[in-house]
Amino acid sequence: MSQSNYGNYGYPQGYGTYPGQIPTYGNQQVYQPQTPIQQGVPTPTPTTLPGQLPLEVSYIENILRLNKGKIATVYATFENNREWNAKIFKGIVEAAGRDHLILSDPQTGIRYLLPMLYIDYVTFDEEIEYEYPYGVAAPNLTTYPPR
């Protein structure tokens, strides 16, 4: 498709040129700074503060996994729900994923699959585990690319 076909759609002259060409507007050339390609530049490694999970693994689901088997109280809000807008769930942390939490109520035997989307916060009646013991591999920790 030639550049003259773009004129009908209001695109400036030079729009859609091949890479490496400098588009022109009338008799002027547009300045395009060249960014040098850097090769072999080491990526920074995340730093870990003592007593904390590394930045990339300190997600809520990982903290909940570290506290698997403990009793948790989960506060959730369900917008636009006429029956109940907010609800409290209490139970044993069975599992946690990126988008969900599974709790089991030891008194009733009911298991709850709660989407993380609705969870406001979680409390524990005991100390929260936040790091793995030294020398122990961190099983089932989820890592995601940096945001």
- 88 token code pair: 């409290």
Are 99 and 115 in contact by the 8 Å Cβ rule? The answer is yes
Quote the CA–CA distance of 43 and 26 in Å, as a whole number. 43
Residue 7 binned pLDDT confidence (cut-offs 50, 70, 90) = very low
Q: How confident is the model at residue 83 (pLDDT cuts 50, 70, 90)?
A: confident
Determine phi and psi for 80, rounding to 5 degrees. Answer: 60, 30
At residue 52, the pLDDT reads 61
Sign of the torsion formed by the C-alpha atoms of 77, 83, 87 and 91: negative
**pLDDT computed for residue 147 by the predictor:** 46
Location of structure tokens 């003592």: 50
pLDDT per residue over 35-75, tens digit each?
A: 555 555 455 455 556 666 555 557 899 999 999 999 999 99
Average pLDDT over residues 87-100: 96
Higher-scoring residue by pLDDT: 9, 123: 123
What pLDDT score does 104 carry?
97
Between CA 123 and CA 2 the distance in angstroms is 64
CB 103 within 8 A of CB 92: yes
Report the predicted TM-score, pTM, of the whole model to 2 decimal places: 0.55
Tokens of 120: 């406001």
CA distance 45 to 33: 30
Whether the CB-CB separation of 30 and 24 falls below 8 Å is answered with: yes
